[in-house]
Amino acid sequence: MEWLTGPFEVTFVQRALWGGMLVSAICALAGTWVVLRGMAFLGDAMSHGLLPGVALAALFGGNLLVGALLSAAVMTAGVTVLGRTPRLSQDTGIGLLFVGMLSLGVIIVSRSQSFAVDLTGFLFGDVLAVREQDLVLLGVALLLALAVSALGHRAFLALAFDPRKARTLGLRPRLAHAVLLGLLALAIVASFHIVGTLLVLGLLIAPPAAALPWARSVRGVMALATVLGVAATFGGLLLSWHLGTAAGATVSALAVVLFFLSHLASGLRHRRRARPGGAPAAATD
């Protein structure tokens, strides 16, 4: 069993595991709503929209997390405002913000010759470089995400399935949407320095999507998504250690593999239910 436990006897791998577990829980809380509402493109746009703030923070020697938070706030406000423009579809507004923020970030990066390593870390993360203070910040972010999810659960639920009913019930869907964007931004900012912006969607979308066929409630999806995210983190770090691959990318890739395995198993289960007693199911158009 040395091959299974040996890597996690190393201190920096232990911190990476704890960091990945916290990120998995945060991403499960936000990612469940992303999957239910079909907001994957928005999540991708917001993750890349962090680049200008991170680049400016690095350029002036500031805190990268603060820079990411500022960019996330700009993206959240921009998406909220453009979403209220009647003649502009939401996808169009998100796409424009995506391209604009990413272009601005690249322009800032191009002004310095010392950003190569920082940009690589921003895009792909470095889960093995997690520090104790990072774990504290992730713990605080998880508590905040839990509070927002608990307080906004009813409004988020109504918004996901019937926005008009949410308005009828006085749940203020516009405010709920803005708060939900804030929760998504929190998950992305908390995760980008662990797995990077290019890979954050792996933990944000794959575990909730994998949990969806098996859970019977939204909270069940969140719980199972957390378990799957933790499993991807543990397995990804283990494979990365033995195969010498990039840890963050391996974790994200394994999360996607779990998604495909989950839906394959779900499809097989439905086929068995459709054929009671082993009789072939009747063909339908």
Mean pLDDT comparison of 22-31, 148-157, 194-203, highest-scoring range: 22-31
Range of the domain at 173: 1-267
Q: Give a yes or no: residue 280 inside a domain.
A: no
Averaged pLDDT for residues 233-254: 91
What span, in angstroms and rounded, lies between the C-alpha atoms of 81 and 64?
A: 26
CATH of the domain at 171: 1.10.3470.10
User: At residue 110, does pLDDT exceed 80?
Assistant: no
Residue 224 · residue 25 · CB < 8 Å: no
- Per-residue pLDDT, 119: 63
User: At residue 283, does pLDDT exceed 60?
Assistant: no
Q: Give a yes or no: residue 283 inside a domain.
A: no
Q: Quickly state the pLDDT bin for 118 (edges 50, 70, 90).
A: low
| Total number of domains in the chain | 1
Q: Give a yes or no: residue 46 inside a domain.
A: yes
Q: What is the pLDDT of residues 175-234, one digit of tens each?
A: 888 888 889 988 988 887 777 776 788 889 999 999 999 998 999 999 999 999 999 999
Q: Give a yes or no: residue 77 inside a domain.
A: yes
- Per-residue pLDDT, 93: 79
What span, in angstroms and rounded, lies between the C-alpha atoms of 71 and 238?
A: 33
Helix or strand holding residue 180 (H, E): helix 173-195
Mean pLDDT across the chain? 83
